[in-house]
């Protein structure tokens, strides 16, 4: 059996990486080269990339303002309650997730810290301006990372007394992101629809307040 796997990997490594435009050979038993396999593992797509803080910032501000404006609304109260219960006690599908989630509780991460990030990630996804979210699974990963990365990234002391880094397993990120989509997806989509509608209205208000009307092309031609 072990020989079969070794033999498979040996043959696999001779094949080209499946990511578009990549001329590297495949890595181990992956369909991608080492670099694209790593990206796929971190972001859910071989073309995925980290979402920069500054990219998310305006969307985060919009989500925070929205939650503040509607604080106490039953949908928001319910979403916060579900999210807090998930952070506090799951249920989690995998033992790895079960093991990782107490870290969020250790750093006293609350649903109030996480929810704006989730709405902001949906807003960013729907804006269509983020290349990091151009693949179906990347939203799942971005949401999972948004939850799990709410704790400081500095190394922590593991059970064996040695410092460990907070590398996230793809399975855990996928599970947490999947939970968000399943349980809070509708809420986040509704919230981002409302935010988009509000900003469109604001834009229209600015437009009708701005005076005078611009000339149409025909009028402009007439005036010449």
**188: exposed, middle or buried (Cβ count in 10 Å: 0-12, 13-18, 19+):** buried
Residue whose CB is less far from Zn ion, 33 or 104:
33
The residue (of 5 and 15) whose beta carbon lies closer to Zn ion is: 15
Q: Which stretch binds Zn ion (CB under 5 A): 34-42, 134-142, 152-160, 171-179?
A: 34-42
CB of 21 to Zn ion, least distance (A): 9
Among 33, 109, 172, 191, binds Zn ion (CB under 5 A): 33
The one segment of 36-44, 61-69, 78-86, 101-109 that binds Zn ion by CB under 5 A: 36-44
Q: Is 184 in the site for Zn ion (CB under 5 A)?
A: no
Q: Is 22 in the site for Zn ion (CB under 5 A)?
A: yes
The count of C-alpha atoms lying within 13 angstroms of the C-alpha of 159, restricted to the half-sphere facing its C-beta, is 3
Locate 63 and state its tokens: 């989500």
- Scored b (16 or more CB within 10 A) or e, 33-42 reads beebbebbbb
Give the nearest distance from C-beta 24 to Zn ion in angstroms: 5
176 scored as a contact of Zn ion (CB under 5 A):
no
Interface with Zn ion (CB under 5 A), residue from 7, 11, 24, 98: 24
Which residues, at least 6 apart from 204, have a Cβ–Cβ distance to it below 8 Å? Answer: none
Reduced to 3 states (helix: H, G, I; strand: E, B; else coil), residue 165 is coil
∠ Cα 178 121 181 (to 5°): 20
CA angle 199, 200, 205 (to 5 degrees): 95
Question: With binding defined as CB under 5 A, does residue 19 bind Zn ion?
Answer: yes
Binding flag, residue 28, Zn ion (CB under 5 A):
no
17 touching Zn ion, by CB under 5 A: yes
Contacts 24+ apart (CB under 8 A), 22-25: none
Scanning 13-21, 57-65, 90-98, 157-165 for contacts with Zn ion by CB under 5 A, the matching segment is: 13-21
Helix, strand or coil, per DSSP, at residue 17: coil
With CB under 5 A as the contact rule, which of the stretches 26-34, 51-59, 87-95, 147-155 interacts with Zn ion? 26-34
> 22 or 183, CB closer to Zn ion?
22
Binding of residue 37 to Zn ion (CB under 5 A): no
For 100, 109, 141, 176, the CA distances from 94, given in Å and listed in that order, are 10, 21, 16, 10
Min CB(25)–Zn ion separation in Å: 9
From 26, 27, 30, 36, residue interacting with Zn ion (rule: CB under 5 A): 36
**Residues at the site binding Zn ion, with contacts judged by CB under 5 A:** 17, 19, 22, 24, 33, 36
């Amino acid at each position: 059996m072990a020989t079969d796997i070794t033999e498979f990997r040996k043959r696999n490594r001779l094949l080209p990486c499946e990511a578009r435009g990549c001329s590297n050979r495949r890595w181990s038993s992956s369909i991608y080269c080492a670099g694209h396999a790593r990206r796929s593992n971190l972001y859910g797509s071989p073309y995925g990339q980290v979402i920069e803080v500054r990219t998310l910032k305006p969307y985060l501000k919009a989500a925070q303002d929205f939650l503040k404006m509607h604080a106490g609304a039953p949908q928001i109260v319910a979403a916060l309650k579900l999210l807090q219960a998930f952070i506090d006690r799951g249920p989690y599908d995998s033992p790895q997730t079960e093991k990782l989630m107490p870290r969020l509780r250790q750093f006293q991460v609350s649903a109030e810290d996480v929810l704006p990030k989730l709405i902001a990630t949906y807003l960013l996804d729907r804006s269509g301006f983020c290349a990091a979210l151009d693949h179906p699974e990347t939203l799942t990963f971005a949401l999972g990372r948004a939850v799990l990365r709410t704790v400081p990234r500095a190394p922590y002391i593991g059970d064996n007394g040695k410092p460990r880094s907070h590398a996230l397993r793809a399975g855990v990120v996928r599970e947490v992101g999947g939970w968000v989509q399943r349980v809070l997806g509708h809420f986040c989509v509704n919230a981002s629809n409302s935010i988009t509608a509000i900003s469109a209205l604001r834009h229209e208000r600015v437009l009708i307040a701005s005076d005078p009307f611009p000339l149409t092309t025909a009028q402009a031609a007439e005036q010449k």
